Structure 1
Amino acid sequence: MDGDRQRIMPRKAPDFGLDGDIPRYWFGGDPFKTRFFDAMSLLFPEGERFFIACVRDFRDQVTDPKLQAEIKDFIYQEGQHGMVHTRFNDRLKAQGIAVDVILKRQVDIMFGFFRKRFPRTYTLGQTAAAEHMTALMAHGFFSTGLFKDADPRIRAMYAWHAVEEIEHKAVAFDVLQKVAKGGYFTRVLSMLQVALTFPLHVFAIMAHMFKVDGVQNRGRVWLRGLWWLYGPGGLYPRLMPHFLAYLKPGFHPWKHGEMDVYRQWRQAYDRSGGNAILASDEVIASTAAA
């Protein structure tokens, strides 16, 4: 699988038309699925800033020119993601979501608590863990045709983000192992903490969103949504083998992850002259037909 390692491409963020007529429930009219991804998007800009800071902590200790170049491209990609998701979050703010309050709380937790009270190696471990979780979602979401009922603009945004997460999925991990010398205990503990706290944070934001939306029968919405996420054949059980692989002593990100959909997106994106929406539509059409 290491032969599948892809060069990080520092693309300028495409224009996804996020200021257009995107419906409130852009994911097939489903409040739970829509707000699940909305809540994650809300957290991305400050999350990307945290990841960049944690990798930069060790940047001046990196002697490998290849890893130095990968760090530079990783920082560029994460910065582009932050800008796009900030524009997306402006939509949420216009809907009455307390974006600024949520982001302040997130900053207090990540920068005011973890980066002040925990060793830099541990916060880099959190970054490597979060990067693995986003990469495994990237590998899994589109190969299963998950977004076939989503608005093409939002689908394209997440597809572009997913592709770039795959490209740089090993950067924080390599810095953790090769430079910070983070051991197995740090890697596993930080992953277990991130795997527990991140979804709880997302669910808390979703509860606020449902209240703002005035969603009726919220109990039923939650039950159906959690079954979609965690039930047999649900989203997360399908990704569980990839998640558990991170806990193996000999794990490395480039040993895992199916790359066919990634290559298809890259080819469609290049062929269309950098049209991320067309590239996403082509991938979804092929996975839905499979």
Structure 2
Amino acid sequence: MDYNFENVPRYWCNNEPTFTHYFTGLSTLFPEGESYFVRSVRALRAKAKSNELLDREISAFIGQEAMHSKEHHAFHVSAQQHGLDPESLEKVTGIVLKSIEKVFSKKWNLLVTVGLEHYTAVLVVSMMQSVNELMTDSTIRNLWLWHSIEETEHKAVAFDLYEHLYGSGLSAYLPRITVFTLSLFLITGFSTIYQFILMKRDRQLLNFKSWRKFLGFMTTQYKVLTPKFFDYYRFDFHPNQTDEKDLVASTKIKIGLKNSKLLLS
């Protein structure tokens, strides 16, 4: 994909600074975050070479994540025109993730990826179902929908690699839920902090009307999303227990990918 972000308006989500800066803040996690995901999978890939299907899926996963990083970074570069400097937040994310990568074992780095891939998979379903309608700029909307499609298509790859290497028993389950809990705090904390930073840079931090609208939206969203996040704590959880094929198919049509065959289609 190759998007042109030159004419993206200042407030492209619900015409509100809070909405726009929340999703921009979330977006700034992707370039470095997805590079980290790729490194965590590559670090253990050699041990799964005997599973040809999984190895092919890993190749597709790596290719898709690399493209997501590229396009979201391009969006952040274009957003510099509004003086908000989202690139600086990318750099902070990179520093934090590289520090985590050094401290954690290969297994735990993979588990961060496994957990956050589930977190992302839950979010993108909501994005495809309804949240995209808040995005008034078609380029931004198509970026998020394209990203959502591909996240759904490879949502189980890191999980399958983990189970292939470490099994699905109690000794695999306990680290899985422990790291997921830490990862939830990490991504929630960073996305919130980044939103506040962007609001401050935009001189909208005290825009209480916009905050009220956003908090109402998030309250409604998390009533639906929280049980889906917590599905991960089930002992028998697997990402493919939910089926989004129809939603993905309709979303492809929506953004003009009706006849397009993506990497894992």
- Contact 1:16–1:157 under 8 Å retained in 2: yes
| The 10-residue stretch of structure 1 (240-249 or 213-222) with the greater mean CA deviation from structure 2 | 213-222
Matches of 2:45 and 2:37 in 1, distance apart? 12
Structure 2's unaligned 5+ residue stretches are none
Equivalent residue in structure 1 for 2:160, among 160, 166, 174: 174
Q: Which amino acid aligns with 1:226?
A: L
So what's the TM-score if we normalise by structure 1? 0.82
1:99 aligns with 2:86: yes
Matches of 1:64 and 1:185 in 2, distance apart? 25
DSSP 3-state at the match of 2:250: helix
Matches of 2:85 and 2:202 in 1, distance apart? 12
Which residue of the partner structure matches residue 80 of structure 1? Answer: 67
Matches of 1:110 and 1:168 in 2, distance apart? 21
1:69 aligns with 2:25: no
> Per-residue deviation at 1:241?
2.5
Q: Which amino acid aligns with 2:211?
A: W
Which residue of the partner structure matches residue 227 of structure 1? Answer: 216
1:146 aligns with 2:131: yes
1:140-198 superposed Cα distances (whole Å, 9 cap, x missing partner): 2222x222231111111100000000000000001111124471111101111111121
Q: Which amino acid aligns with 1:94?
A: Q
Which residue of the partner structure matches residue 188 of structure 1? Answer: 177
Cα distance, 1:57–1:24 mapped onto 2, change above 3 Å: same
Matches of 1:192 and 1:156 in 2, distance apart? 31
Q: What is the aligned residue count? A: 255
> Per-residue deviation at 1:77?
0.2
Cα distance, 1:61–1:130 mapped onto 2, change above 3 Å: same
Which residue of the partner structure matches residue 132 of structure 1? Answer: 118
- Contact 2:28–2:87 under 8 Å retained in 1: no
Which residue of the partner structure matches residue 156 of structure 1? Answer: 142
> Per-residue deviation at 1:267?
4.8
Cα distance, 1:100–1:122 mapped onto 2, change above 3 Å: same
Cα distance, 1:140–1:259 mapped onto 2, change above 3 Å: farther
1:108 aligns with 2:98: no
1:201-243 superposed Cα distances (whole Å, 9 cap, x missing partner): 11111111111111163455434423321x2xx1122122321
- Contact 2:35–2:69 under 8 Å retained in 1: yes
Matches of 1:244 and 1:75 in 2, distance apart? 26
| Identity within the alignment, % | 27
1:197 aligns with 2:186: yes
Across the aligned residues of Structure 1 and Structure 2, the Cα RMSD in angstroms comes to 1.9
> Per-residue deviation at 1:257?
4.2
Equivalent residue in structure 1 for 2:41, among 34, 49, 55: 55
Matches of 2:127 and 2:194 in 1, distance apart? 22
1:34 aligns with 2:23: no
Matches of 1:100 and 1:26 in 2, distance apart? 18
So what's the TM-score if we normalise by structure 2? 0.89
Matches of 1:137 and 1:87 in 2, distance apart? 22
Matches of 2:134 and 2:104 in 1, distance apart? 42
- Contact 1:139–1:257 under 8 Å retained in 2: no
Matches of 2:176 and 2:187 in 1, distance apart? 16
Matches of 1:271 and 1:137 in 2, distance apart? 23
Q: Which amino acid aligns with 1:207?
A: F
